[in-house]
Amino acid sequence: MKKILLYICIALIGAQLNAQQSSTDMVEIQRKINEFAVIDLKYDLRKLRPHEMYIVPHLLRAAEIADSIFWMQTYGDKNALMQRLENDTLKRFAEINYGPWERLNNNKPFVEGFPEKPKGARFYPADITNEEFDQFKDSNKSSLYSIVKRDPQGRLYTSDYNEAYQSYVSGIKDYLQAAAKGVGRQDSFFGVYLWERGESMVNNTYTYSDKLWMNSQNNILDIIIGPIETYEDQFKGIKTAYETYIVAKDTAWSKKLQRFVKLLPKLQEGLPIEKKYRTALPGLKSQIGAYDVLFYSGDCNSGSKTIAVNLPNDESVQAEYGTRRLQFKNVMKAKFDSILVPISKVLIDSTQRDYINFNAFFSNTMFHEVAHGLGIKNTITTGEPVSKALQQYYSALEEGKADVLGLYMITELLESGDIKGGSIEEYYTTFVASIFRSVRFGAASAHGKANMVRFNYFLEQGAISKNVSGTYTINYEKMKKAVYQLSSIILKIQGDGDIIAAEQLLNTKGVISESLQNDLNRLKDFSIPVDIIFNQGGKYLMDYTQALKNEERRRK
C-alpha cells in the first residue's frame, strides 16, 4: 500500500511539473516560436519543363523520407516524442528544432526531463568518451556513413547507414528512380544522376553520383539529397546528416555569376599568407549558380536555414570536377528583408545604414561559398587532409576561413575592377550587419563559432567599435587590415594542421560576450525575427497536374 501511495505521489509531482511548464514556460516558448518569420516557399512550376514538373511529387516524397532519417539521427523516434508532448506549443517548437533541444540557444533542453543534447547526437552512444572511441578498433568507426552503437554487453560496433536505415533509404531510392524514369531521354544527364543517386542510398557510396551531379548542368529542376554535412556531429565532426534541397535554377542570374570562377587562380596566388600555405590549385571546373528553393528537409531545415551551399564535400570529386556553389536567392531575400534590414536600423550607426543593400548581401554570401575553394586542402606538416587533422574543430574553422576570404576576394576584385558595382563600404557594412543576424543563432554550431571569432577579432582590432548610443561603426581601413590578418591566422592553422591552435582560437574568441548578448537582447524589443521557417510542400507549389495541362494547352 505504501508503494502504491509513493507511485501516486510521484505521478502527481510529475503532473504538477508538466502543469508548471505549461503555465509558465509556454508563454516563453510561444514567444520564441513567434521570433521566426514564416515564409511561404512558393514556386510556379510552369517555369519548369513538362518532364520536370511531372517528377516534383516523387522528389517531395523522397525528401520527406530523408527528413525522417534526420529525426532518427538527431533525436530518435519523432512520433514517440510528439506523443509525450501533449501541448501543441511544445510540439511546434520541437518540430522546428527536430527534438527537445533549442538549436538557436546552444542546444539547451526546453522540455522538462531531458538532459543536455549528446555531442554526438545519435551517431554514437550518448555515454561514449574520446578515450573509448580512440581505443575502439574498427576501421569503419570513422566512416562518414556509419553509426557507432553498443551491443547488449556494452561493446561498441558499427552499422552502415544503409543497414541502420534500410527501409528508409530503399524508399528514397524508389522515388528517385521513379523520377529518373519520368525524366527519361529528355534530360539524360539529370535522369542518370537521379537513378544513381538512388543506388547510392542503398550501397552507401556517393562518389559516383556526386560526379554525375557535377555533370548534370542543363536541368532547371535539381535535387540535393543524402547524408551530406557533418555539423550535427559535434563529438568528432565525422558523421554526415541526411537532408534535401529541391531547387530550380535562375538561369539569367547564374550566367552573370559564373565568370568569377576564372578569377580563382589569381586570387589564390594573392592570398595573404606564405606561398607554402597556398599550394593547392582551385578547381576551374567549379560552377556558381542562383536558385530558388522549392523544399527543404532534414539537416538544412533544422535551426537556422541555409542560404547557400558549396558541394560536393568529397575531396576526390573536388579535385577532378571542382564544386557547385548554389545561392538560394528567394531564401536570401526573405532573410534580408525580414531580418537584416531591421537589425541594421537598431545596431548599425545611422551614418552607415544606407550602405546596406541586397546586392552586397548576395555577393558576400556567394564569395563565402567560392572562398571554400581557396587555401589548402592537405597540411604541409603530414600531408593529411586538413579536415582529418583538425577533427571536431575543422568545420568551424573552415566556415571562418570562408567568411574572411570571401571579404578578401571582394576587396581584391573591387580594387582590380573585376567587380563593377557597389563599394567597399557597402560590402563591409552589409557584412557586419549580417554578423549580428548570424550570431543570434548562438555559438553552438560551426557557423556560430565562426561568427563569434570573426566579430571578436574585428572588435579587438578596431575594425568595428561600439558607440555610446549602442550602435556600431565600421572603420573601413582597419576592417581591410583585420580581414587579411585573420585570413592569415586561419590559413596557417589549417596548413599546419594545428589542432591545439584551432581549439584555442575557437574557445577564446568563439564566445558571445555579455555586452554583445545585451545588444542581441535589445532586438527582441523590436520584434525582429531570429530566423525564418517555411510553409512548404505540395500545397505551396502550383498543382503540377494543372500546370502540365496548361503547358499542353499552350502547345496546342
Give the β-pairing of 324-328 and 308-311: antiparallel
Total domain count, the chain: 1
In this predicted structure, the answer to whether residue 287 has a pLDDT above a threshold of 60 is yes
127 falls within a domain: no
* Nearest to 287, CA basis, from 311, 308, 316: 311
Q: For position 122, what pLDDT does the model report? A: 98
* pTM greater than 0.75: yes
125 falls within a domain: no
In this predicted structure, the answer to whether residue 136 has a pLDDT above a threshold of 60 is yes
How far is Cα 116 from Cα 77, in angstroms, rounded to an integer?
Answer: 17
Per-residue pLDDT averaged across 538-544, rounded?
Answer: 75
Per-residue pLDDT averaged across 39-58, rounded?
Answer: 91
> Whole-number mean pLDDT of the chain?
89
In this predicted structure, the answer to whether residue 258 has a pLDDT above a threshold of 90 is no
Least confident window among 42-46, 422-426, 531-535? 42-46
Per-residue pLDDT averaged across 424-443, rounded?
Answer: 87
C-alpha cell at 73: 539521427
Q: Is the peptide bond before 312 cis (omega within 30 degrees of 0)?
A: yes
* Nearest to 516, CA basis, from 445, 466, 454: 466
C-alpha cell at 193: 544522376
Residue 438 confidence class, pLDDT cut points 50, 70, 90: confident
- Residue 287 · residue 293 · CB < 8 Å: no
* Nearest to 386, CA basis, from 487, 277, 480: 277
Per-residue pLDDT averaged across 403-425, rounded?
Answer: 92
Residue 5 confidence class, pLDDT cut points 50, 70, 90: very low
Residue 23 confidence class, pLDDT cut points 50, 70, 90: low
35 falls within a domain: no
27 falls within a domain: no
140 falls within a domain: no
205 falls within a domain: yes
In this predicted structure, the answer to whether residue 446 has a pLDDT above a threshold of 80 is no
121 falls within a domain: no
What own/partner pairs with CB < 8 Å and gap ≥ 24 does 128-133 have? 128/156, 128/235, 132/156, 133/235, 133/236
In this predicted structure, the answer to whether residue 20 has a pLDDT above a threshold of 80 is no
Q: For position 264, what pLDDT does the model report? A: 79
Q: For position 547, what pLDDT does the model report? A: 59
In this predicted structure, the answer to whether residue 198 has a pLDDT above a threshold of 90 is yes
C-alpha cell at 298: 532534414
Q: For position 188, what pLDDT does the model report? A: 85
Q: State percent of the chain over pLDDT 70.
A: 91
Higher pLDDT, residue 286 or 158 = 158
pLDDT 10s digits, 351-373: 999 999 999 998 898 888 778 87
**Dihedral sign from CA coordinates of 362, 363, 366, 368:** negative
Q: For position 321, what pLDDT does the model report? A: 87
Q: For position 481, what pLDDT does the model report? A: 97
- Residue 210 · residue 312 · CB < 8 Å: yes
How far is Cα 442 from Cα 275, in angstroms, rounded to an integer?
Answer: 35
The SS3 call for residue 222 is strand
Q: For position 483, what pLDDT does the model report? A: 95
Q: Provide the CATH number for the domain around residue 482.
A: 3.30.540.30
**DSSP notation for 519-530:** HHHHGGGGT--S
Q: For position 13, what pLDDT does the model report? A: 36
Range of the domain at 528: 166-539
Q: For position 7, what pLDDT does the model report? A: 37
- Kindly report the three-state secondary structure assignment for every residue of 450-481: HHHHHHHHHHHCCCEEECCCCCEEECHHHHHH
**Intra-chain end-to-end CA distance of the chain, in Å:** 82
Per-residue pLDDT averaged across 534-542, rounded?
Answer: 86
pLDDT 10s digits, 316-346: 998 888 888 899 999 999 999 999 999 999 9
**Where are any strands of DSSP class E within 146-220?**
146-150, 156-160
* Nearest to 309, CA basis, from 389, 218, 385, 222: 222
In this predicted structure, the answer to whether residue 546 has a pLDDT above a threshold of 70 is no
Give the β-pairing of 108-109 and 287-298: unpaired
In this predicted structure, the answer to whether residue 10 has a pLDDT above a threshold of 60 is no
Per-residue pLDDT averaged across 22-43, rounded?
Answer: 87
Residue 284 confidence class, pLDDT cut points 50, 70, 90: low
Higher pLDDT, residue 475 or 510 = 475
Report angle CA 483, 487, 489 to the nearest 5 degrees.
120
In this predicted structure, the answer to whether residue 281 has a pLDDT above a threshold of 70 is no
Least confident window among 170-179, 190-199, 386-395? 386-395
Tell how far CA 205 is from the center of its chain. Answer: 22
Q: For position 3, what pLDDT does the model report? A: 39
In this predicted structure, the answer to whether residue 17 has a pLDDT above a threshold of 60 is no
Q: For position 12, what pLDDT does the model report? A: 38
In this predicted structure, the answer to whether residue 268 has a pLDDT above a threshold of 80 is yes
Per-residue pLDDT averaged across 100-123, rounded?
Answer: 94
How far is Cα 223 from Cα 62, in angstroms, rounded to an integer?
Answer: 10
Q: For position 9, what pLDDT does the model report? A: 42
Q: State percent of the chain over pLDDT 90.
A: 64
- Kindly report the three-state secondary structure assignment for every residue of 406-448: HHHHHHHHHHHCCCCCCCHHHHHHHHHHHHHHHHCCCCCCHHH
- Residue 66 · residue 226 · CB < 8 Å: yes
The SS3 call for residue 243 is strand
> What is the phi/psi pair of residue 63, to 5°?
-65, -40
In this predicted structure, the answer to whether residue 8 has a pLDDT above a threshold of 70 is no
How far is Cα 446 from Cα 451, in angstroms, rounded to an integer?
Answer: 9
H-assigned helices in 281-326: 315-321
177 falls within a domain: yes
Q: For position 439, what pLDDT does the model report? A: 81
Q: For position 549, what pLDDT does the model report? A: 62
How far is Cα 486 from Cα 371, in angstroms, rounded to an integer?
Answer: 14
Q: For position 15, what pLDDT does the model report? A: 39
Task: Provide Rg for the chain, Cα atoms.
Answer: 24
Q: For position 308, what pLDDT does the model report? A: 87
